[in-house]
Amino acid sequence: MKRILLLFALLTISSATWAQRSSAVHMLEGMRISDVAIEHDGEMLYVEMRMELQASHIKGRRARIYTPVLSHATHSIELPSVGVFGREHYYVDRRQKLQVEDIPDEWRLRRRDLPAVVSYYAAIPYQQWMNGATLHVNELLYGCRNRVEALGEVVVAKYSEWVFTPEYVDVKPTAKAEMQVANAFVDFPLMDANIDPKFSDNAAELAVIDKFFASFCDSSKQLSAIHIVGYASPDGEYEANAELAQQRAEALRSYIMKLGNIPLSLFTLNSVSEDWTGVIEWLNGSTLKNKAAIVEIIKGTMTPDEKEHAISSRYPQDFEVMLAECYPPLRRATYRVDYKVCDQMLDAASKSINAANAAMQRGDLVAAKSYLQSAGTSPLADYARALYAIHTGNLKEGVALLNKVKSSVPQAAKLLKQMTM
């Protein structure tokens, strides 16, 4: 049995009309039932069916009564009956008003009237329990003095309506992730790997680091990776410098981890044992007389310790300047932070859509209508308007809007399917 939303209701009226129809045939003793229809329109429920009363050998003092009953759980209601009477029972019942059932005159048939077709029709006030009810027809066979001699029953329909349970869809913030990079560095004294806030410009650099990581309390920012590199200047033995550069990287990582709940997996640590590249950059910008020769030594094939000895022995004056001006900034640890910034702002139309959905959920249709006037023309706006139309009983407009957006709003296609099942 298929439930259908009457097309007539969608096209011509604003109130919900629901109908179920079935062409299935049901049999009772002496009757054939078909074309059962149950329709709910406004405050009334209508029941129709075709009753074909067959030729019967019912005796004169007997009556066969057919009574449709609508029931659901503990609720039930009897509809007007149809009866076939033997000759004596018919007249006695009529004269003495010993009517066994409340039967309309046109459905009070005598045996001689058979076979006959009754176009059954009943209208009753609709009650909520009727959604999900079963319609069955009871058969009673009455004998002399209205004694019940036999009975039968057949289920002819089950009635259920689609219940409007809207699924609201809010506009989500657009998360446009933009990768950005932050840099900072911390200076260290000679042969030291401890971060001293009072040393060099560390106070200012550490304040920048503190402020930067505090900003990640904002959910619009998301850390992707933290790359730390520790450096050592070329003065001293290479092996000691290599260990010192690694320790400086670890010191900066420890400092950052104390600023918040930052997973260790986000960190990558590297070290530059002796920053000869930084030395060359400094030399190229310096006014040292022998800077070209020193650069040649650095680019040569000697070991790091041999390079330092060659520079200090061949160009002692220049080397003293390098120790004072070039090497101190090379004793450092730097970091680069990769992070995403998400734009989660909603425009005015999107906010109106969400506000309209919230208003409908709390039952404030007046406010919902007001918000929808400034909700724009997006698919989600039209979907919200469809829900509002159905809420207010305008099924024609609601279905039209759902069909308009069903390809882009899955909830619209789902709702249409539910309405036509």
Residue that terminates a domain, selected from 322, 343, 364: 343
Is the model's pLDDT at 175 over the cut of 80?
Answer: no
For residue 328, being part of any structural domain is answered with yes
- Average pLDDT over the chain, rounded to an integer: 86
For residue 7, being part of any structural domain is answered with no
The three-point CA angle 33-39-44 to 5° equals 120
Question: Looking at the 3D structure of the chain, how many domains does it have?
Answer: 3
For residue 122, being part of any structural domain is answered with yes
**Do residues 312 and 365 share a domain?**
no
For residue 300, being part of any structural domain is answered with yes
**Do residues 100 and 183 share a domain?**
no
Instruction: Report pLDDT for 8.
Output: 32
**Do residues 239 and 323 share a domain?**
yes
- CATH number, domain of 130, equals 2.60.40
- Say how far apart CA 30 and CA 33 lie, in whole Å: 10
Instruction: Report pLDDT for 3.
Output: 31
**Do residues 111 and 97 share a domain?**
yes
**Do residues 108 and 147 share a domain?**
yes
Instruction: Report pLDDT for 111.
Output: 85
For residue 244, being part of any structural domain is answered with yes
- pLDDT (tens digit per residue) in 40-95: 887 899 999 999 998 777 777 788 899 999 999 999 999 999 988 887 777 666 55
For residue 13, being part of any structural domain is answered with no
**Do residues 270 and 415 share a domain?**
no
**Do residues 193 and 335 share a domain?**
yes
**Do residues 103 and 229 share a domain?**
no
Residue 4 banded pLDDT, cuts 50, 70, 90: very low
**Do residues 134 and 82 share a domain?**
yes
Instruction: Report pLDDT for 40.
Output: 85
Instruction: Report pLDDT for 177.
Output: 58
**Do residues 90 and 209 share a domain?**
no
Instruction: Report pLDDT for 340.
Output: 79
Residue that terminates a domain, selected from 316, 343, 370: 343
Comparing 1-15, 120-134, 192-206, 209-223, the range with the smallest average pLDDT is 1-15
Residue that terminates a domain, selected from 311, 343, 375: 343
Identify the domain containing residue 410 by its residue range: 348-419
Instruction: Report pLDDT for 45.
Output: 92
For residue 6, being part of any structural domain is answered with no
**Do residues 361 and 333 share a domain?**
no
- CATH number, domain of 207, equals 3.30.1330.60
Residue 13 banded pLDDT, cuts 50, 70, 90: very low
For residue 408, being part of any structural domain is answered with yes
- Say how far apart CA 50 and CA 32 lie, in whole Å: 8
Residue 12 banded pLDDT, cuts 50, 70, 90: very low
**What is the pLDDT averaged over residues 201-224?**
84
**Do residues 384 and 316 share a domain?**
no
Is the model's pLDDT at 391 over the cut of 80?
Answer: yes
